[in-house]
Amino acid sequence: MKVTRFYTGDDGRSRFEDLDITLTEQRGRRSDPIDVTGLLFRESDADANFLELHPAPRRQLILCMAGVVEIELGDGEKRRFGPGDVYFADDLTGEGHRHREISGPVKHAWVFLPEDFDASQWRA
């Protein structure tokens, strides 16, 4: 399962990284369990909700259930996420990212990860 992570590089700027959660055949395909510390649901009417550069408030997977959002890094690189996409906000320090709601309604689940979560297991 593809996941886009954005994290803080050594220069304090956010970077994108493509990850892949390993799935194994077992009554369909599934990952190993992932320990989480919380869950928050969010929805909006996609009324051009926009956040300027900001770091993520915590390490969290965002599961997009409806709508389209765009994440823009400080260098101008952008990626869009829509229904079925998963992205990983992991830029807790530095410049951060911009968040734009492109179309809606937007419905997301934010899955909070422990501070010591190791994403390297998802690198190719």
For 114, the domain range is: 2-122
- 64, 83 in Cβ contact below 8 A? yes
- Supply the pTM of this predicted model: 0.90
Number of domains composing the chain: 1
pLDDT digits (tens, 9 = 90+) for 6-54: 999 999 999 999 999 999 998 889 999 999 999 999 999 866 677 889 9
pLDDT digits (tens, 9 = 90+) for 43-88: 998 666 778 899 999 999 999 999 999 999 999 999 999 999 999 9
- 95, 53 in Cβ contact below 8 A? yes
The CATH code of the domain that includes 96 is 2.60.120.10
pLDDT of residue 124: 74
- Write down how long the chain is: 124
